């Protein structure tokens, strides 16, 4: 007698889709938190958060300023949405030379840094889910 139920291989596709969706959800949340937590003077730091899939983006464009942050978020979300396979890595980074100083608390607007508190929040929120 032949198997009449759902094939186990179909379950793998569901798990892979769920994994992709969860990764993209977390990446989008992290991007928004990093951009919103970024200190703003000229807007260059906020405008230089880079999002990439399966590779790092070491680019810098000091002329790319985004004081409000929404353009940076929108551009990053488009990149995140392009990650359509479950095991692709999404990287969010900022390569401006003073980024490490900001991360070390050299801004009154972000005394605890930007990436470190975002990572701690994301990890605490999603570690159990």
Q: Is 102 helix (H, G, I), strand (E, B) or coil?
A: helix
Residue 53, SS3?
A: strand
| Contact between residue 92 and residue 49 where contact means Cβ atoms under 8 Å apart | yes
Q: What is the pLDDT of residues 26-56, one digit of tens each?
A: 999 999 999 999 999 999 999 999 999 999 9
Give the integer Cα–Cα distance in Å for 99 and 115.
10
pTM of the model: 0.90
Cα 43 from Cα 69, distance rounded (Å): 8
Per-residue model confidence as pLDDT tens digits over 75-93: 999 999 999 999 999 999 9
First vs last C-alpha separation in the chain: 39
State the pLDDT at residue 2: 65
């Amino acid at each position: 007698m032949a198997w009449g139920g759902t094939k186990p291989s179909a379950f793998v596709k569901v798990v892979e889709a769920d994994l992709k969706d969860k990764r993209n959800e977390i990446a989008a949340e992290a991007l928004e938190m990093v951009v919103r937590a970024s200190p703003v003077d000229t807007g260059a730091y906020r405008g230089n958060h880079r999002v990439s899939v399966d590779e790092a983006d070491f680019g810098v464009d000091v002329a790319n300023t985004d004081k409000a942050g929404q353009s940076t978020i929108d551009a990053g979300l488009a990149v995140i949405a392009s990650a359509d396979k479950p095991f692709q890595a999404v990287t969010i980074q900022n390569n401006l030379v003073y980024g490490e100083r900001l991360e070390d608390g050299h801004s009154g607007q972000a005394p605890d840094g930007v990436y470190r508190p975002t990572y701690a929040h994301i990890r605490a929120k999603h570690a159990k889910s």
